[in-house]
Homo-oligomer: A and B are copies of this chain.
Amino acid sequence: MPHGRAATPCDTDLVNDVDALGPELQATWRREIPLAAAIGVEVSACTSTELVVRAPLTPNRNVHGTAFAGSLFSVCVLTGWGMAWLALRQRGLDGTIVVADSRIQYRKAVTGDLLCRCRVDAKVLDRQLAPLETSGRARIPIVCTIDANDKRAVTFEGEYVVQRKTARNEAE
């Protein structure tokens, strides 16, 4: 499974070649998803169990001058997808990842840049991903959060479905 070998701006506590995955993830988003480019998502930290994604406020403001609900959701759903993607890559697994259901709670307006955090437990992820090998499909619940002024502003809970790639969906 070839992937990027570039030097990385990612944070410390890196495991294996996770350091190369942050830039690859960001480049994939910006190349393949026009809205991710419009939002201006940047991978600002990545370890084997944590992903932090940043987006500037300016292109993401709403009628009130704070962060638009759709931008907040998009940054969260990308961060969750990115965490699942990292989990697969670090385990040498291959699969398509889609979000099936999600819930988002907005508790405070975000008045500055959007900083989304996702943290997972590696052992829990191992268990959740095990069915991918046996049945070709796994479901991963992922939580992402965005704080504003040191208080929880947004909580996102998404359920991602990972499906083993087949000849058919490889071609998709």
**Which A residues are within 8 Å of any B CB, using their own CB?**
28, 32-36, 38-39, 58-65, 68-71, 73-75, 77-78, 96, 98-106, 109, 172
Q: Is the CB of A69 within 8 A of B105?
A: no
Specify which of B33, B61, B104 is in contact with A101 (CB 8 Å cutoff).
B104
Q: Cβ of A38: which chain B residues have Cβ within 8 Å of it?
A: 34-35, 38, 59
Specify which of B61, B70, B78, B101 is in contact with A103 (CB 8 Å cutoff).
B101
Oligomeric state, in copies: 2
Q: Is the CB of A68 within 8 A of B100?
A: no
Q: A32-B63, A59-B35 are in contact. Are A69 and B172 (CB under 8 A)?
A: no
Q: Cβ of A60: which chain B residues have Cβ within 8 Å of it?
A: 34-35
Q: Cβ of A77: which chain B residues have Cβ within 8 Å of it?
A: 69-70, 73
A34 to B65, CA, bound (A): 11
